[in-house]
Amino acid sequence: MTSASLSGRRIWLTGASSGIGRAVAQELVRRGSLVAASGRNVTALQDLSAKCGPDRLIPVPFDATDRSATTAAARTVQARLGGVDIAFFNAGTCEYVDPRRFDSRLFERVVQTNFMSMVYGIEAVLPLLRESRTPYLVGMSSTVAYGCLPRAEAYGATKAAIKYMLESLRLDLAAEQIPVSVVCPGFVRTPLTDLNDFPMPFRIEVDEAARRIADGMARQDPEIHFPKRFSIPFKLLAMLPAGLYNRVAARLVRAS
């Protein structure tokens, strides 16, 4: 498939208020897609619609952590777009764990926002995708899903769960010819990563990330990971025996 294959596709994208989601929404519109953009920030979505053109990008604000609201949003998207060809669930957050003050409520927040929001979305959209001639499901994970990192006990766990869930769904949905892609970016410059207090090797700009994601979606790559100069070495590092991985990771942390 080529990038032209995204032209005319009806796409529901969550997490579009800012960061990667916002940039991906603009990139998809540029490639000719009709996008229903969702998030909680109504003003940001309205501004995005004005920039992209209200005939090409339709704001559908809702709280992705609310199952009922997600179901209602899916109905709205179906009505506004006339159907859904691609669903890209991108909503997410990041909170780092302080093991000296281990807080289960932090885990609840991150799991609800990152993982359960995607579960709710998939539950709501699968019936709509089954009505499309060209259905396609995409979800946002992270390179942190490849291997554990310090303070990422909550964030990394959700991203690993997302990767596993989507890869399992790929197997189950193959008979229905519904491809599934998992997106695993490295560090991308966004308002969320701007809050990080540690080095972020090979961090790329958000517009470049959006282009790489759209390219991967056009090809329907099973796994869209980038930048390769970071994601591939990290994959290889994660394949080391646990003891060796822990020693290497600890050395990298001390160096940081």
pLDDT tens across 144-197, in order? 999 988 888 999 999 999 999 999 999 999 999 999 999 999 888 877 766 766
Q: What are phi and psi of 95, to 5 degrees?
A: -135, 135
Please tell me the predicted confidence (pLDDT) of residue 194: 61
CATH superfamily label, 3-255: NAD(P)-binding Rossmann-like Domain (3.40.50.720)
Query: For 27-64, b where at least 16 C-beta lie within 10 A, e where not — what string?
Result: bbbebebbbbbbbbeeebbeebbeebeeeebbbbbbbb
This prediction's pTM: 0.91
At which residue do the structure tokens 């359960």 appear?
116
At which residue do the structure tokens 């294959």 appear?
5
Q: What angle do CA 147, 189, 158 make, to 5 degrees?
A: 35
Cβ(230)–Cβ(187) under 8 Å? Answer: yes
Whether 155 is catalytic: yes
More confident residue, 150 or 201: 150
Cβ(52)–Cβ(26) under 8 Å? Answer: yes
Alpha carbons within 13 A on the beta-carbon side of 140: 28
* Active-site residue identified among 136, 146, 155, 164: 155
